[in-house]
Amino acid sequence: GENVEQHPSTLSVQEGDSAVIKCTYSDSASNYFPWYKQELGKRPQLIIDIRSNVGEKKDQRIAVTLNKTAKHFSLHITETQPEDSAVYFCAAHRDDKIIFGKGTRLHILP
């Protein structure tokens, strides 16, 4: 079955700097890769996604890149702000199955 690895587990960056979180997946049939932000006690919220036929997607300060050959995708957050502090999960979809990475706790330092 699908396995999603996510790194790092914790990331601290200075406010205004960039943050990068990386994921790899095992099932080459996975075709959709969302990123979720989860604040304490709340539901996961989709922040950006990418489909398998696209290599890069950007939405303001957030971007995602996908390398299908390497089965690798990454989240990039630029000009980080205090409100970016949260846990971020990557996920991979294959048919109806949605498997999450273990999460990255992002701390934005003042």
The only residue of 34, 35, 73, 85 in contact with other proteins, by rule CB under 8 A: 34
- Residue from 13, 20, 47, 98 touching other proteins (CB under 8 A): that is 98
Q: Are 74 and 100 spatial neighbours (Cβ–Cβ below 8 Å)? A: no
- CB 107 → other proteins: shortest distance, Å? 14
- Residue 66 interacting with other proteins (CB under 8 A): no
For other proteins, which residue of 28, 81, 102, 109 counts as binding (CB under 8 A)? 102
Token pair belonging to 24 = 């790899």
Asked if 103 touches other proteins (CB under 8 A), the answer is yes
Q: What are the two backbone dihedrals, phi and then psi, of residue 37, each rounded to the nearest 5 degrees?
A: -110, 130
- Min dist. Cβ of residue 16 to other proteins (A): 27
Closest to 75 (Cα-Cα) out of 89, 86, 54: 89
The phi and psi torsions of 84 (rounded to 5 degrees) equal -80, -10
Pick from 32, 61, 67, 81: which binds other proteins (CB under 8 A)? 32
User: Rule CB under 8 A: which residues touch other proteins?
Assistant: 31-32, 34, 42-46, 49, 51-52, 89, 93, 95-103
